[in-house]
Amino acid sequence: MQNMTPVAIAALGLELAPTVLFGLAAERVVRALGRWPVVVRVSFPALFAAPYLLVSISQHTFRWEWFALYAALPVAIASLLTQAAAADPRQHGNWRDWLILLILGLAVDLRWFDRAWPSGLRALNELFLVDAGLYGFLAIRQLNGTGFDFHLKWSDWKTGLRELVFFTPAVLVLGIMVGFIHPHRNLPGLGSALLRWVAIFFFTAVPEELFFRAWVQNLLERRVGRWAALVVAAVLFGLSHFNKRSAAFNWRYVLLATIAGIFYGRAWRERRRVPASTITHASVDWVWGLWF
């Protein structure tokens, strides 16, 4: 992100706080929230609009309609998932789950809300959507088997890096064949390279793995089984890249991202751990940026 004023940094901290809390202490957070009255639990995420309020006022871009949207959307998600939890206690997947995932996915891919934010700070919109989804699916729906956890284990590294090794030869050959990969070298210093990997891990790979693996693949498995869920989630992941690096439909990116999604999904489902697939995902993007 650019344009990082002190106010923008404060807004970023506010948006990262829910993600960090759920990643480090999800069970305790869910238990604490469970003691609140239902009305309070459902209404609470309206506070997620605070970062927009801070940034827009400081940048003189405040609009009431955007503020209303940012206050209302997390509450609507919490309300729908409260109903889904009651209608589908066995968590086989309810239409409300899929509606919310559709809205969240399209909002990111089609950049529905980007113009609400000043140039250079639009990534804050995606973090807002992550917070709204996390609160809804973990605190309200209490969806099990997501594997969203920032306590990295040795098995996460082993699984994540193994899938990277499996994935790399296939994508190199195919990527060069279809003209999508053009090898070059862009090697920064060691410190800069490590910081780049960490930034990709938290700001690109975690949100995407949370969405496509912890939520989409997780829910699909309950309906269509492990293999079909793996393939469908990978195809959806690939299609989400249709407008990346191109104004038209970028079929090469879609194809390679779909294949990558298979390996990310394999990493997640081995122990149902988001950190494992996130390590694969972040490492692929990191290597891609350094050499391709």
DSSP secondary structure string for all residues of 6-44: HHHHHHHHHHHHHHHHHHHHHHHHHHHHHTS-HHHHHHG
The whole-angstrom separation of Cα 212 and Cα 240 is 10
Whether 20 and 130 have beta carbons less than 8 Å apart is answered as no
| Tally: H helices and E strands in the chain | 13, 0
Which residues of the chain carry a pLDDT beneath 70?
A: 1-3, 185, 187, 245-247, 291-292
pLDDT of residue 27: 93
pLDDT of residue 245: 64
Which structure tokens are listed for 57? 């006022």
pLDDT of residue 3: 67
Cβ-based neighbours of 270, under 8 Å, separated by 6 or more = 159, 276
pLDDT of residue 144: 95
Average pLDDT score over the chain: 93
pLDDT of residue 87: 97
Measured between alpha carbons, how far is residue 194 from residues 274, 276, 280 in Å?
A: 20, 18, 15
Query: Within its chain, how far is the Cα of 251 from the centroid?
Result: 22
